Chains A and B, each alone.
Chain A
Amino acid sequence: MGSYKYSSRAKDKTTFFSEIGNIAVFSGRTLRYTFSFPFEFREFLKQCYAIGNLSLGLVAITGAIMGIVLTIQSRPVLSDFGAEAMLPQMVAVSIVREIGPVITALICAGKVGSGMGAELGSMKVTEQIDAMEVSATLPIKYLVVTRVLAATLMVPILVVFADALGLLGSWVGTNIKGSVNIVLFFSHAFSSLDFIDLVPALIKSFFFGAVIGLIGCYKGYTAGKGTESVGVAANSAVVLSSLLIIIVDLVAVQITDLML
């Protein structure tokens, strides 16, 4: 009989560096299958709807409250410098550049990332991913690519939404002391906003979305055996994607700074 030796399977032990390597390999595979035919369009739409629908309310409330809080807290500082008139501009820049994208991304990491980790994790544990594979479907294409793309698309949309509600909240905040016409407020706010505020913020939001999708799917997809690994997958998806969002933000700020 012929003898055939195969390379042994990936070892179970994970260290910090092997984890980074695995995530890189996983991301590479996801990217490769993103551009291969056929695209699972229905599943993609389903995921877009799920992500948007799931986080919309939460993002809206948080955005509005951040706007109000930021306005109330900035007012005394600005009035110390006699620059109270700058309030709309200042709040608009902080929300659009930083607070909107980061807070929205962190909320989505908690809501969407953990959901993906738990869903794929339980699919893995109950052999649903194996079942998909034997019915000649690539789980990475059907489950992972669709979710990562949906998150990459939906997070920036949610960010724009959060920005808008943040500004509205800021207007409410300014009206707590004194009254400002809403048209006047927004014309002030927008006058300070440049392309240079909007575009980098939107670009980084796409990356935040990709991070959330990739880490959520990676953690779920590589979940161990047994039901407790579902919880572990969901939990570590949130922790790792939140951390990565902050790191991506740091890098994005440096790059934007260099380009200006």
Chain B
Amino acid sequence: MDVGIVSYGAYIPRYRIKPEEIGRVWGVDGKAMGKGLFINQKSVPSPDEDVVTIAAEAARNMMARVPDVDPKDIGAVYVGSESHPYAVKPTATIVAESICATPNMTAADMEFACKAGTAGIQVCMGLVGSGMVRYGVAIGADTSQGAPGDALEYSASAGGAAYLIGSENIIAKINKTLSFTTDTPDFWRREGMPYPKHGGRFTGEPAYFRHVTSAAKMMMEAMGTKPEDYKYAIFHQPNGKFPTRVAAQLGFTNEQIAQGLLTPEIGNTYSGAVPLGLASVLDVAEPGDRIFVTSYGSGAGSDAFDITVTDNIKDYRRENAPTVAQRMAKTVVIDYARYAMFKDKIVMPSSE
């Protein structure tokens, strides 16, 4: 049985802040910081947005493109995030309710730093492939926080994408998935702490680069493929610099990664990053296009996917929901004061 993507939907909040504005507040050359990270601006959620609302919008966009799919045929909903609004109480149940998929289904929240969304796709593939469910929904979404003044504040942003995984009318077949996972403490956040901590330079070579290149090489070896066999490649993008460098190390060109590289204009959407990059590629993909995907989550692991777009994409109702490019076109740039208010960094009188 072929298992793959039946539909997808993306969501990115409307507000943006620029590195030079963040740097202005902290006495840092933000422009140079942004240049070093390849980040021109990052998305900021509205005060009434969180992972639930972002995941729900992505899921509704996903369902809008497949009007013939009955949401009651969805047997599983997984939301991957490192910024679930509740410590206890699943995001996934709220999102499932918002697409009318409840109650005959299973649901859970996933956590694996920036790769919880792709982990959900793998779980859904297993459930669909084994015949346990007809459709599974996997969502990666985050409203990530960087500590004020920390390097992460220049990149940590918000957004998400949802995938309907199934075996009928798939627009993209997932030929294979595999993972590379180790215990690597490059980035973490303890229970109750508002901001994550990271191992500084340690987050590069032994963490991101080792896991991404290992998973990617394993995949090409398993499939007997070379970088030039793929039309598009999407790598996890904590900034613009890492995916560009890892692509070059593996032998992929800038043309192959351009369509799926969104971080320079929206920042690092964490669990949303690779799912959004893949959504941007599917927005323009044509039958036969082969797509290479490798996510990365600190802690640490990488999930790789080898995907082929099918003829079904010709009849697929992409136009029923906004594309990633359309979501990125209408933005409002805010200053640090408004950003601080939006992100609850200003102490308000307790009257709620």
Are A and B part of the same complex?
A: no
